[in-house]
Structure 1
């Protein structure tokens, strides 16, 4: 979309350079991400940037409404309700598909998540691209007046809230088996935050502890939560000493309730040029005849789980908990990224940080996902080139 940089990048690209890029990425931890890393960043024009910022602002304005918690309280009634919820989420991941409407390119909100994304990994991915393509120094993945130094400062403040790193843990289910574990490694490297499995947490009274590398029990004062409750519910083999619904003496970096409040649950409440028509199945007066133009999504799934792209009447009629699913109008992704061969679809995830004490969240960085197929997620494009996870660079 930015001809100058696209032509420059493509002219300098080679398979050898891509392999050197991947080797450099794998060098830090002797590990290459299990998800596919795309060959190219996405160059974002001034016009598209302004559209993304406008759509993001409209969503944040909705989240900041005085009645937002009342509007989303039902999301907690059908899920976990964790005590000591704070006033706002610490993290926002806002996904926009780059689409075409009436012959014009426009970002459309696919979903929003009040949950952390790969904040540490993206900063390092940017630096790996710079090593291979020095001219990218002219561009930036950061927004809101942020540079690399202030990005790390903002992320540190959000994660630690002034607490010593040894008393803050990144909590996950079997972290070594997660697709995003490279982000955990970078988080530990950048800030010294230990990575702990839910089964390793020790509960004494209403306090939590973990065992450090020296075999010492250390008090947990703050949890950087990366646990998805869907996965936790499905792992009946796990034995935990604590429950998330316990009244614990601990702070949350990313309180779990915000995962439910800011999710597909809010999509039916949104309207405007950047939002897609979405209807709760429980509010659906009749099933549309043109179902080929719709997609069926569970409200609280993660990473595309449970989504039915080619939906039929039986799929809708078979849903028992109709207040937990939405029927969403399909949008037409426009293949706007020119690869060496053919064009590629793009989704831009804006990453927002909202530390305690800040009146508003800061649009800090982004994730880009590239696709040549129907589905955007990196796991749906494993056998193709110029697809997978990447980063957007703003002019």
Structure 2
């Protein structure tokens, strides 16, 4: 991490500035932010940025292989398989923990990946407010590939809206206004004009979908910017008796198609290799259980937000798993507290966010998201009662 930028930031930081930053960040929003925002952004060195770029390129190359759809077919649960899958994921997110190599230098290590949208709208808003509150220099950016904010929003618009009008493309989640990430939904609506709807708002007529506009007009949906994760409705087996069954062959485009959520996921990791990839195997393919199990974690393939992960494997844990083909055994990634706060080190996770509009040969690395942690894991429930933790963004030299 960039020590000079960190020193300057910490010397000028005050709790009053942070409080004002949070007020400004929430001003004018349709929904307040419902997750903790960290006191500070991350400042990357050129060297670490370049390592992230290399890691991302190696992973994207694996996803672009001609047989990727074939090898990832088993990743999609039968009950959540959706018709009319397209050729590629429109969004790719790669999560890296910041670790250290044997020489003590910070290096990224892949934690997870997903073929699903993240906070593409919110991150641009967040960075603007960090920049204003803390006078972050103009030669620092959160964007990649030479993108400015306007260029980034053009790429986002191209990816999500494509050839349609903004009101023909809806951002859809199961209960959109009440999601913790609803702030991102409404910021995205402000940036590119896509209305926010819930699953129950979809009106089906034949194989077409409609929604009601704010003035009560029934409007045809040409594309769904999908933010729904099927895990969130898994506890309601009758859900599609009450709402449109979006798994059926409907005359609508998906951005991104739900099947890509599973194809690009923990399931992909055993097929990856490289300096920045922890050794990962499907549990049913592990021939010899490692003796140093304290250096591994067990992860279920079909869960999200860290649910079901066994961080500290105990005797008998592996033997008790009834479906080993649906689990991975992964080399443990040890986050290092490389970000200096006023009262100690903080661990960092950085998410690279790609956009892949129709017509492009491959995805474009566009922007990033970062999370700070002092807990055992990165998630919210592991960081209660801590400061200098939560959602943030990484700045780097243009």
TM-score interval (norm. to shorter): over 0.9
**1:102-126, Cα deviation, whole Å (9 max, x unpaired):** 1332111111100000000000000
State the distance in 2 between where 1:34 and 1:170 align: 19
Look up the match of 1:279: 281
Unpaired stretches in structure 2, ≥5 consecutive residues = none
Look up the match of 1:322: 324
How far the C-alpha of 1:134 sits from its partner, in A, is 1.9
Look up the match of 1:338: 340
State the distance in 2 between where 1:126 and 1:99 align: 24
Residue 365 of structure 1, aligned match among 353, 364, 367: 367
How far the C-alpha of 1:289 sits from its partner, in A, is 2.9
Quickly say closer, same or farther: Cα 1:114–1:365, change in 2 above 3 A: same
Quickly say closer, same or farther: Cα 1:20–1:368, change in 2 above 3 A: same
**1:135-170, Cα deviation, whole Å (9 max, x unpaired):** 332200001111111000000011101211111111
Residue pairs, 1:1-395, within 5 angstroms: 1-29=1-29, 31-76=31-76, 78=78, 80-102=80-102, 103-236=104-237, 238=239, 240-395=242-397
Question: Is the 8 Å Cα contact of residues 22 and 32 (structure 1) preserved in structure 2?
Answer: no
Question: Is the 8 Å Cα contact of residues 280 and 327 (structure 1) preserved in structure 2?
Answer: yes
How far the C-alpha of 1:245 sits from its partner, in A, is 1.9
**1:224-282, Cα deviation, whole Å (9 max, x unpaired):** 00010111212347454322221100011101111111000011111110100111111
Question: Is the 8 Å Cα contact of residues 95 and 350 (structure 1) preserved in structure 2?
Answer: yes
**1:11-43, Cα deviation, whole Å (9 max, x unpaired):** 111001101111111212264322110000000
Query: What secondary structure does 1:394 align onto?
Result: strand
State the distance in 1 between where 2:171 and 2:294 align: 41
Task: Name segments (4+ residues, structure 1) moved above 6 Å.
Answer: none
Query: What secondary structure does 1:348 align onto?
Result: strand
State the distance in 2 between where 1:236 and 1:40 align: 43
How far the C-alpha of 1:78 sits from its partner, in A, is 4.5
Question: Is the 8 Å Cα contact of residues 114 and 258 (structure 1) preserved in structure 2?
Answer: yes
Question: Is the 8 Å Cα contact of residues 130 and 136 (structure 2) preserved in structure 1?
Answer: no
Quickly say closer, same or farther: Cα 1:190–1:362, change in 2 above 3 A: same
Choose 317-326 or 23-32, whichever is displaced more: 23-32
State the distance in 2 between where 1:30 and 1:39 align: 23
Question: Is the 8 Å Cα contact of residues 263 and 300 (structure 1) preserved in structure 2?
Answer: no
Aligned residues: 395
Quickly say closer, same or farther: Cα 1:32–1:237, change in 2 above 3 A: farther
